């Protein structure tokens, strides 16, 4: 097993290579380290190498890590499914949430965001492949949700997120990401001030970068397989 340092170097190089290959500006794709199930010592190791953005799926698990890492200049992103009874903790302890898919959750986050903090950064999660039972708003309802979220003053709408159906075929991966990018471009044309297209994981990162991802969410390639 390679060291975390080596894995981080490798992922950074893969991002840079995909930027070059697909005509993206160098440095235009941000790495979000998905640290669910990993301990605070591993997060600290990456932080000391300059990796400061971390993604988590479970609120309770994250609160412990945030406490243990107090004083580190980290940015915490919530990327998992949101339960209504967790919105207060998410609004109080995270800087970003990528998985807003209904107005009820947005309203609760808006009401709970502490006034001493800047607005909570939001991405709307879209179910791009219309998978039954999958988190995310339907493609044709995303515009309406964006319109409802935009005026909420304690939230700042930043962009869109998707976790497409698993595929190992590059062309299939690109087609799914292209759908999200089209929607993103349409919202920007309609005047929404978006700057974040959150798409791509260990399995499909180059395809996501080819289609315009501005942020990739990488766990396994950084930390090894989850147990």
Ligand X SMILES: *Cc1c(COP(=O)(O)O)cnc(C)c1O
Identify the three-state secondary structure at position 161.
Answer: strand
Distance between CA atoms of residues 162 and 195, nearest Å: 15
Backbone angles phi, psi at 169, to 5 degrees: -100, 120
* Closest distance to ligand X from the beta carbon of 134 (Å): 11
- Does 79 bind ligand X (CB under 6 A)? Our answer is yes
Per CB under 6 A, contacts with ligand X among 3-32 are: none
Distance between CA atoms of residues 58 and 86, nearest Å: 10
Q: Which stretch binds ligand X (CB under 6 A): 103-111, 143-151, 186-194, 215-223?
A: 215-223
# residues near ligand X by CB under 6 A: 14
* Closest distance to ligand X from the beta carbon of 34 (Å): 4
Between 111 and 138, CB nearer to ligand X: 138
* E strand or H helix at 189: helix 170-189
Number of C-beta neighbours around residue 169 at 10 A: 10
* Closest distance to ligand X from the beta carbon of 57 (Å): 5
Q: Which stretch binds ligand X (CB under 6 A): 13-21, 62-70, 142-150, 218-226?
A: 218-226
Per CB under 6 A, contacts with ligand X among 33-62 are: 34, 36, 57
Residue pair 123/159 in contact (Cβ under 8 Å)? The answer is yes
Q: What region does 17 belong to: left with phi over 0, alpha with psi -120 to 50, or beta?
A: alpha
Per CB under 6 A, contacts with ligand X among 145-184 are: 163
* Closest distance to ligand X from the beta carbon of 225 (Å): 8
* Closest distance to ligand X from the beta carbon of 106 (Å): 18
Radius of gyration of the chain (CA): 17
Token code pair at residue 65: 């890590």
Q: Which stretch binds ligand X (CB under 6 A): 46-54, 85-93, 189-197, 212-220?
A: 212-220
Q: Which of 120, 146, 194, 218 binds ligand X (CB under 6 A)?
A: 218
* Closest distance to ligand X from the beta carbon of 28 (Å): 19
Of 66, 61, 109, 63, nearest to 84 (Cα)?
109
Distance between CA atoms of residues 105 and 108, nearest Å: 5
Q: What is the DSSP letter of 45?
A: H
Shortest Cβ contact with ligand X: which residue?
219
Identify the three-state secondary structure at position 29.
Answer: coil
Between 14 and 87, CB nearer to ligand X: 14
Q: Which residues bind ligand X (CB under 6 A)?
A: 34, 36, 57, 79-80, 163, 201-203, 217-221
């Amino acid at each position: 097993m390679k060291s975390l340092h080596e894995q981080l170097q490798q992922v950074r190089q893969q991002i840079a290579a995909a930027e070059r290959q697909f005509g993206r500006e160098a440095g235009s794709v941000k790495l979000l380290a998905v640290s669910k199930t990993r301990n605070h010592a591993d997060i600290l190791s990456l932080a000391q190498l300059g990796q400061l953005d971390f993604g988590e799926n479970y609120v309770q698990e994250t609160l412990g890590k945030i406490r243990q890492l107090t004083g580190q200049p980290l940015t915490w992103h919530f990327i998992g499914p949101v339960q209504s009874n967790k919105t207060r903790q998410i609004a109080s302890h995270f800087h970003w949430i990528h998985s807003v898919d209904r107005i009820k959750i947005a309203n609760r986050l808006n009401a709970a965001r502490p006034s001493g903090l800047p607005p909570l950064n939001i991405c709307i999660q879209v179910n791009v492949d219309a998978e039954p039972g999958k988190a995310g708003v339907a493609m044709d309802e995303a515009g309406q949700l964006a319109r409802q979220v935009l005026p909420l003053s304690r939230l700042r709408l930043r962009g869109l997120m998707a976790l497409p159906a698993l595929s190992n075929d590059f062309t299939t991966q690109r087609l799914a990401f292209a759908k999200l990018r089209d929607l993103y471009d349409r919202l920007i044309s309609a005047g929404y001030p978006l700057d974040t297209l959150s798409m791509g994981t260990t399995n499909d990162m180059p395809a996501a970068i080819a289609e315009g991802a501005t942020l990739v969410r990488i766990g396994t390639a950084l930390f090894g397989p989850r147990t």
